[in-house]
Structure 1
Amino acid sequence: MRIVLVSDSYLPVLGGIELHVRDLAERLTGLGHTVDVVTRTPAEGDRTPVDLREVVPGAGRVVRLGGSAFLGSRLARVLAGADVVHAHSSVVSPLAWRAAASARAEGIPALVTVHSMLPHGATLPMAVALRAATAAGLRWTAVSTVVADPLSRTLGVPVPLLHNGIDPAPWRGELGGRSRREAAGSTFTVVSALRFAARKRPVALVRMLADLHRQLPPDVDLRAVLVGAGPLLEATRRRLSAAGLAGRVELVGRVDRDRVRTLLTQADVYLAPARLESFGLAALEARCAGLPVVAMASSGVTEFVRHDVEGLLARDDEHAVQLLRELAVDPARRDRIHRHNLATETDATWSRTLAATLQRYAEAGAGTEGTTRTAVVRPFVSQGSTPPA
């Protein structure tokens, strides 16, 4: 099939949607499909996307549309001849919505996957942007139950799940079945990977670490490593300094997956502070590395973390601090969760996600050729960007 994946945000921006779309493109290409990724994100070093000037059907690539190009004939030329259009939507995703509506109008099978939770009481912008008839003609999926349930109520149609995927094997790390206490000594190390933006709550994360530091017994020393970048990075650095944590919390910035894997093997627990976390790919990576995950019970992390099984689920920030303290002083509990996570495969593997994605394409009316082949992942050749490893 010729498959067009549409995401307003894409590499070189790093985040859950961006990495998922890149990985999905790789795996679909590995099955022999032709994949175009369409985005509004500029290439590395460019301030604005370049408008599309020519489309060569069948040439798998990244097409970066600048300005209002996605409103006109340029987008139509990208979509022409597609067997299926798969739009990946966040809270506000005008390109993805336009592509889904255009595909629907041209009779091209279209699937929309919603990747983001909405604040309580918010009206789904997509439901307003798309006419009811258009919305009803699309196939809808969501990355987690906390996204699917309100979306289904808003649209009045069933919304099945389509998880983000992971290959667990590379994340299992070098520690294997070794004790985390043996690896870390008397230091309790917390790791978190996030975009430093309000939605991910980095300032709240600093408060939680400060409270945890005050509550730990004298024989347990706190260390934390925060991975990522974003508009609140410097504000977070100032907050850490004001809280007296500058020497205990390391901000490592944006790093590749190999570096993240190394950091996970050196940690005792993973903390996911966001309440509006729709899925939590970074938390899933940590879970596959064996780490107990502490996350909010209201978030999409519950798709792969059960309380006191793969991690601990908190009612609020104060409860999260309490749970972190419990893990800090109870290495046997940490080791039990660690061993379970290494020995038990998550349901959100790429083999399951890829099969489910192809099934959704077929349900939308796309061809099914290649759905039974064995996936061989090949590098996805992009124009204008070099995705991280």
Structure 2
Amino acid sequence: MVSDFFFPQPGGVELHVYHLSQRLINRGHSVVIITHAYGNRTGIRTLTNGLKVYYVPFFVLYRESTFPTVFSFFPVLRQILIREQIDIVHGHASLSSMCHEAILHGRTMGLKTVFTDHSLFGFADTGSILGNKLLKFTLSDVGHVICVSHTCKENTVLRASLDPLQVSVIPNAVVSENFRPEPERASKDHITIIVICRLFANKGIDLLTAVIPRICAIHKTVKFTIAGSGPKEIDLEQMREKYRLQERVELIGGVRHEQVHDVMTTGHIYLHPSLTEAFGTVIVEAASCGLLVVTTKVGGIPEVLPSHMTVFASSPSEDSLVESTLTAIKLIENGEVKPSTFHDEIKDMYCWEDVARRTEIVYDNIIHTKNDPLIVRLSKYYKGGPWAGKLFVVCVVVDVIIYFFLGLFWPVSSIDLAEKWPVKGLDVLNDEEEDNQ
């Protein structure tokens, strides 16, 4: 697994990589994670079940994305892939430079590759155009692509000009046991609305800043608890000061994932004002904790939860979000919904074991396919565009040359192979699955 985004940073991609890796280990596979160094966290760390994480020191450019170098990552990556006897390179996230480079270098080494897209992007602004062209380059010669929702699949297919048959939809999941409802923790005197997200513009924080004063003015018994950190935190603080809502709007800052349950169970409603979202794992966690979810009808969010668990804003606008939030408050006050029953439904809908099993099918389908000759690979990249295609071909040729010289100066025989962590045998696992069935 390769991605710029992993622990100790919290987030949906980070959780996906971790839980998928753990379930694949439980199914008998050997998994390692490669990411960049986070502060003093460098080198090799071993997590639960012997999950090995390589924290490679690279310069971070923006929001934990490393500076794209194309080729300088290759020597380190080659050493790790050979040392760990890797068969499949699985990259995560469109904005991860390490992911894109790992897929390119993995194909040069003759390994199988998979890419999982967790985000939605546009087609009009300069950043999206450049990002989509980079995605087209990376996915020109990838084994298979996974998206976390059907909306995400449509977006990725268009952005990278992919054959839809080459793309599968495998959603995120939650550990439902960690998100059990505790209704006794929620206040009986007032309604608490919970918000947990990174405080960035794309998460709808500007919308949230405008909505909170209006809701507080209408409902005197409503309080807000907002967890998260980011550049928009100052806007929330200024809003709270301006409208004198210190007693009704609590800003608790960033929280670790293991604290999310404790925050959520103090509320009645979860408010998710995001402007773009491919899936939205946090709303599944909120519903599992027994919260009624109020959210915008954008991206893949409408696919995530049944209608009785959500109140949708018809558009990502201030008036619409206020109206939907007031509707949810009324439903809670009148007892017209039973959020306490949501947990049992979520437990049956989203399971990491199911995600791992479906991902394993993708691996099985590509692992036995023959690798294309170099000339066929180059022809795929050449179709990337009149100018971009030629640049893609040059990059691949240079990558092949670098791989040749790396093998010349650091032959495979000079690289020590890592000892494998003992894993549960698949025969035992299959027996347990049969017993469960």
Compute the TM-score of the two structures, normalised by the length of structure 2.
Answer: 0.73
Of 111, 119, 125, the residue aligned with 1:108 is: 111
- CA positional deviation for 1:98: 1.0
Query: In the alignment, what sits opposite 2:310?
Result: 311
- Report SS of the residue matched to 2:55: strand
Match of 2:58 in 1: 66
Deviation track 1:83-130 (CA, whole Å, cap 9, x = no partner) reads 21110013x221101111222222211110001111364546454225
Give yes or no for the alignment of 1:86 onto 2:94. no
Question: What one-letter code is carried by the residue in structure 2 that aligns with 1:323?
Answer: S
1:16 shift after superposition: 0.9
Query: More deviation in 332-341 or 103-112?
Result: 332-341
Tell me whether 327-336 or 73-82 shows the greater mean CA deviation: 327-336
- The 2-side partners of 1:147 and 1:312 are apart by 22
Q: Pick closer, same or farther for the CA change 1:70–1:293 going to 2, 3 Å.
A: farther
- 1:331 is aligned to 332
Aligned equivalents of 2:295 and 2:223: distance in 1? 18
Aligned 8 A contact 1:294 1:323 in 2? yes
Residues 343 and 131 of structure 1: CA distance in aligned 2, closer, same or farther (over 3 Å):
closer
Q: Does the 8 Å contact 1:276/1:299 carry over to 2?
A: yes
Report the counterpart of residue 209 of structure 1 in structure 2: 212
DSSP-derived class of the 1:34 partner: coil
Identity across aligned pairs (percent)?
22
- 1:161 equivalent in alignment to 2:161: no
- Given the superposition, is the C-alpha separation of residues 373 and 319 from structure 1 closer, same or farther in structure 2, using an over 3 Å criterion? same
CA distance in 2, matches of 1:26, 1:247: 42
Change (3 A) 1:243 1:356: farther
User: Is contact 1:267-1:291 (8 Å) kept?
Assistant: yes
Equivalent position of 1:383 in the other structure: none
Displacement of 1:285 after TM fit? Answer: 0.5
Partner of 1:351: 353
Cα offset, 1:282, TM superposition: 1.4
Residues 126/359 of structure 1: CA separation in 2 closer, same or farther (3 Å cut): farther
Does structure 2 conserve the Cα–Cα contact (< 8 Å) formed by 1:277 and 1:300?
Answer: yes
Name structure 2 gaps, 5 residues minimum: 45-49, 60-68, 370-424, 433-437
Alignment partners' CA distance in 2, 1:96 and 1:274: 25
Give the helix-richer structure, 1 or 2: 2
Tell me, yes or no, if the aligned pair for 1:274 and 1:299 is still in contact at 8 Å: no
Match of 1:10 among 6, 12, 24: 6
Counterpart of 1:205, as a letter, is L
Question: By how many angstroms is 1:174 displaced?
Answer: 2.4
Partner of 2:38 in structure 1?
Answer: 43
| 1:225 and 2:225 aligned | yes
On the 8 A contact 1:87/1:113 being kept in 2, the answer is yes
**Greater radius of gyration (CA):** 2
Distance 1:172 1:324 in 2: 23
Distance 1:21 1:353 in 2: 11
**Which has the higher relative contact order, 1 or 2, with Cα contacts under 8 A spaced 6 or more apart?**
1
Per the alignment, residue 24 of structure 2 pairs with: 28
> 1:360: how far off?
1.5
Distance 1:244 1:299 in 2: 34
CA distance in 2, matches of 1:359, 1:286: 30
The reply to whether residue 128 of structure 1 matches residue 133 of structure 2 is yes
